[in-house]
Amino acid sequence: MQPLNYQITECDCGLTTINNAILSLLGRSNFNLHLKNKIDLICVDEPNFHGTSRIAMEHIGKVIEKYTSLKSRYIKNIELDDLEIELKYTDFSNTKVILRTKYGVVEGDEHYVLIMRVDEMGMHIFDPYYVEGVTKSSTYYGIESNRYI
């Protein structure tokens, strides 16, 4: 599998997480350049560069369907409140879940992370926010992440 990417600015977690979801499902050779350009234009639409809005994430689902063989059921955008229900009915072998959360961010902001799989150990999350010096996974309330929370 292609290595996942970290965000390059403080406000592109949505953009990076969407790209990582598509990359992990399709691979680099099948990642359509027109889709990549559309995603780049749609994301980071919040005023004052606060990131990707909920509306933009919903719109991206339609764009993904237009430019790939992926249907909206393969990449799910969910809220923290809906997490338990969604995870019960998700087959992670062919689906990625993008979770919108307030986990690990400044009060009032939201953050997008990619749920890679769920097993008896908990959720395995890729967080695109790179923290210098943190190289191993951690567990927090049953959630395994690639960074400390």
pLDDT at 149: 32
Q: What is the pLDDT, as a whole number, of residue 105?
A: 55
* Sheet of strand 111-119, all strands in order from the earlier edge strand to the far edge: 75-79, 96-101, 111-119, 122-126, 143-145, 138-140
- Which band of pLDDT confidence, cut at 50, 70 and 90, is reported for residue 147? very low
- pLDDT, one tens digit per residue, over 92-140 is 777 777 787 765 555 566 788 888 887 777 778 888 888 776 644 443 3
The larger pLDDT score, comparing residue 43 to residue 88, is at 43
Distance in angstroms (rounded) separating the CA atoms of residues 82 and 34: 32
Give every CB contact of residue 70 below 8 A, 6+ residues apart in sequence.
22, 25, 26, 64
CA–CA separation, 100 and 133 (whole Å): 25
pLDDT digits (tens, 9 = 90+) for 24-72: 888 888 888 888 898 888 887 766 667 888 888 888 888 888 888 776 6
Q: Say whether pLDDT at 18 is over 70.
A: yes
pTM: predicted TM-score of the whole model, two decimal places: 0.79
Per-residue pLDDT averaged across 67-86, rounded?
71
Q: Alpha-carbon distance 16 to 3, whole Å?
A: 12
| Cα 126 to Cα 46, 67, 84, 136, distances in angstroms | 23, 24, 18, 12
